[in-house]
Structure 1
Amino acid sequence: MMSDKPKITGYRQLTDADIDLMNQVKAKGQEMGELIDKLKSTDGLDQRWIATGATDIQKGLMCVTRGIAQPNSF
């Protein structure tokens, strides 16, 4: 296994495949963040819905990251 890597309290030891998946999620998050920034600076759009969508996207990314990491604590 990967016992030479430091353990994060409350999390199982991540495999290289897990880390790769998390990095893919983070890359998509960065991509979505850039799109949200573009939408925020576009006149004529309903910014309330843009903000709600941004929050929901952030929540979704956090959920899938937690699904990969599978923490054993609250």
Structure 2
Amino acid sequence: MSEAKPQDGSTVKGYRTLSEQDIADMNSLKALSRQFVSHLERLRSDGADPRWLAIAKTDMQTACMAACRAVAQPDGDC
């Protein structure tokens, strides 16, 4: 698994320096997302409708991305 390193803004334009709490919050959000997606995979193996599971996974990924952006607060044009 790759691990993003906090940026100081000098290499990636539009991002601020993340605090330790920001990093912890984003890691927590990502852990929750992974747990949810893992549960979806279990449901798939139990015979749940794969089309709806795919939608649920996509929506979870979108929710996680939006929540991480809320914490990271990148520039509006990023």
Normalised by the length of structure 2, the TM-score is 0.77
Same amino acid, percent of matched pairs: 35
Q: Bigger radius of gyration, 1 or 2?
A: 1
Residue 62 (structure 1) aligns with: 65
Gaps of 5+ in 2: 1-5
Of the two structures, which has the highest relative contact order with CA contacts closer than 8 Å and spacing of 6 or more? 1
Which of these residues, 55, 66, 69, is aligned with residue 52 of structure 1? 55
Q: In 2, Cα distance between the equivalents of 1:28 and 1:71?
A: 22
Gaps of 5+ in 1: none
Normalised by the length of structure 1, the TM-score is 0.81
RMSD (Å) for aligned C-alpha atoms: 1.6
1:29 paired with 2:33, answer: yes
